[in-house]
A and B are shown apart, each in its own frame.
Chain A
Amino acid sequence: MTSARLLARQIRYANLSFWRNPTSAFFTFAFPLMFLVIFTSLLGTGKVQLPGRTVSLSTYYVAAMATYGVVSACFSNLGMTLTFHRDAGILKRLRGTPLSRATYLASRIIHAIAVAIALVAVTALLGRTAYHATLPTGASLGQFAAMLVVGALTFSALAFAISGAIPNAEAAPAVINATIMPLLFLSGIFIPLGTNAPAWILWVARVFPVRHFVVGMQSAFLGTAFHWSDVGIVALWGVGGFLVARRAFRWDPPR
């Protein structure tokens, strides 16, 4: 079998498992959409002040939940799946077969990114029909696609990196949520960061990648300014994640 066909098959099996596992499908796919509906129902009539624009909160949440969906698919779900596969000995077994490690890793990353893109598409369509979000077109579509792919790759790399720090599969949800949830809050995903937000929060948002990612994603939906520096900072985190993952990622279960 050619390596391209083998890769396609591995992605298909990853996808079968993903949809059959109620936890991965629900938390990854349903959570962002559920939050979108809940937040906009509760707060949708409010306004949020962004640099250069005022948008309704419902439109704001379309961009925020699309971003959350990417983080959820590429970081949380991928990180937990990798840790589970390692602890269950699936990775070790694969190492004893002729399947190349690169094919397995690529299949996992491509599947996570495909789920992320599907999630963004569903969120965008829902936002367009229900919440007056604009959809990216023309030049902004290119910028948006770049931000989306860079963000998805970065959070995938970070998932590989953090799996090395997770001692066992039971600890995976705790470690992953403990790292990502505070960051999502501090980056304005669930609650917009107003101009009067405390300085330390703004600093945290500026240093870590989530804020830059959501600002980059917002410009396509909300018509705010797009800065390539946001893409660059997210990409730097991706490179860092990749370097850490190369050292920290393990194939053998803990003994």
Chain B
Amino acid sequence: MDTAQDAAIAVRGLVKAYGSHDALRGVDLLVPYGRICALLGPNGAGKTTTVEILEGFRQRDGGAVTVLGTDPAHAGAEHRARVGIVLQSTGVEPYLSVAETLAMYAGFYPHPREVDEVLALVGLTESRDRRVRQLSGGQQRRLDVGVAIVGDPELLFLDEPTTGFDPSARREAWDVIHELRALGRTILLTTHYMDEAENLADQVVVIAGGRIVAEGTADTIGSRNRRAVEVRFSCAASTEPPANLAARRDGHDGWTLRPTDLTRDLHVLTGWAISAGVELENLRIERPTLEDVYLHLTGASADALEEE
């Protein structure tokens, strides 16, 4: 099913160099229609270069790229009408009002959305008559998203759409993105926030050193689902859990164990606690977070993980 014909974005062997620096060393990527794909990677890994080539802002040195069936390097106005773009730092005219700005951009597209509909979607209805320069940073970012969707694009590029947002503004932005997905739009998103990727993305792609180093869902990427699980709990300092669980002390009254069989070991642990009348405080099962996996994949904390 995931063939180039079915995909909104299809990239094969994409390479790009800046002088003697190889920014992209053969990137392969397929994003099917209607999916949200999160592209993760450290600064300088090639995220922005990849996205800007897909958007048509930069020319590639080699490889095959199609976006909605068109090569973005040679795309015309018709193609640009089907794509919405939120860049990291793009402004809009500061002296126009929010509604004027959306109406101006709507005029560029053959089948734009209603301005009022977009205002409601990005939560700016109250601010429709305010000048852009009077908006807060979070509101300006929402206007960025509004401008990108006013043409009713099939595909949306969001480059770090919530950087600098406070937590509630981020939740609101996520709601907007969920609504767009519900409308069947395809979205390619870059972000530094793991919870954002986890909350939004159907597909997570990690890029490092100009290559895709892992791809999967937020739950399975980097074999996250198969990586070691830990059980942690604390109990009265005078008691000790059964020796066959091989739990080790973790602080004054805390314990950590790595189960060989989670279900059976939990049964042993709770059975012992009930019969011994011990309260297992703070009992929890921990899996590596997406951030742990990401840091491992991108090498930043590979050593730290090895030591565990």
Contact = CB atoms under 8 A, between A and B. Distances in A.
B153 to A, nearest CB: 10
Interface in B176-235: none
A17 B108 CA distance: 18
A95 B80 CA distance: 9
Contact of A99 (B55, B108, B110): B108
A95 B110 CA distance: 16
B105 A97 contact: yes
Contact of B90 (A10, A90, A99): A90
24 contacts: A6-B108, A9-B107, A17-B93, A17-B95, A17-B96, A20-B95, A20-B96, A21-B94, A90-B91, A92-B87, A93-B87, A93-B92, A96-B56, A96-B57, A96-B83, A96-B87, A97-B81, A98-B78, A98-B80, A98-B81, A98-B108, A98-B151, A99-B108, A100-B77
Interface of A: 1, 6, 9-10, 13, 16-17, 20-21, 88-90, 92-93, 95-100, 252-253
B109 interface: yes
A41 to B, nearest CB: 33
B12 interface: no
Given A6-B108, A98-B78, A253 B89 contact: yes
A89 B108 contact: no
Interface in B261-305: none
A98 B150 CA distance: 12
Contacts of A90: 90-93
Contacts, number: 69
Q: How large is the interface on B (under 10, 10 to 19, 20 to 34, 35 or more residues)?
A: 20 to 34
B95 A92 contact: no
B104 interface: yes
The 4 closest A-B pairs by CB, nearest first: A88-B91, A89-B90, A98-B77, A20-B95
A97 B108 contact: yes
Nearest to A252: B57
Contacts of B77: 98-100
Contacts of B96: 13, 16-17, 20
A6 B107 contact: yes
B131 interface: yes
B85 A13 contact: no
A20 B89 CA distance: 23
A6 B112 CA distance: 14
B85 A93 contact: yes
Interface in B62-98: 77-78, 80-81, 83, 85, 87, 89-96
